[in-house]
Amino acid sequence: MSTVPSRASYGALLAGFRASAVARRDALSEAAAQLRRDRGAETADDEHDPEGVTLSMEWQRIEGLRLAAERDLAEIVEALTRWSVDDYGRCEGCGRSIPMERLRVRPAARRCVPCAERVGG
Ligand SMILES: [Zn+2]
């Protein structure tokens, strides 16, 4: 039998995830802003400037990562909202506690592994 984690330990887990998601989002925002400045400093002529093309691709890559970080952060915030009303860590499928090991990997998970596999995610 595994012990059921306390509500406080879920809160600590989520707070940690939120802090790292915020840090990642902020770092990527800063990287995107820096690239924008670099591009602004160069000519805006991406098509004829090899350096401009490279910056464009880098910008797209960072912007994609930034959006993913925003999405992760939104999921964590949503999970924290569930936690605040004492509805976090319970499987929507079977109603049992979602194992802590799963929540450590996917803090915003709404279902235990067997239920998630049944519904395909
Ligand atoms: Zn379940």
Structure tokens at 2: 């595994």
Q: What is the pLDDT of residues 17-33, one digit of tens each?
A: 999 999 999 999 999 99
Q: What is the pLDDT of residues 79-117, one digit of tens each?
A: 999 999 988 999 999 999 999 999 999 999 999 999 999
Instruction: Tell me how far the alpha carbon of residue 111 lies from the centroid of ligand 1, in angstroms.
Output: 5
Instruction: Tell me how far the alpha carbon of residue 113 lies from the centroid of ligand 1, in angstroms.
Output: 7
Instruction: Tell me how far the alpha carbon of residue 90 lies from the centroid of ligand 1, in angstroms.
Output: 8
pTM over 0.75: yes
15 backbone dihedrals φ, ψ, rounded to 5°: -60, -40
Q: Are the C-beta atoms of 13 and 103 separated by less than 8 Å?
A: yes
Give the pLDDT band (50/70/90) at residue 39. Answer: confident
Q: Are the C-beta atoms of 14 and 79 separated by less than 8 Å?
A: yes
Instruction: Tell me how far the alpha carbon of residue 12 lies from the centroid of ligand 1, in angstroms.
Output: 23
CB atoms within 10 A of CB 58: 15
Rounded Cα gap, residues 5 and 99, in angstroms: 9
Instruction: Tell me how far the alpha carbon of residue 92 lies from the centroid of ligand 1, in angstroms.
Output: 6
Give the pLDDT band (50/70/90) at residue 6. Answer: confident
Q: CA-based diameter of the chain, in Å? A: 65
Where residue 42 falls (left for φ over 0; alpha for ψ -120 to 50; beta otherwise) is beta
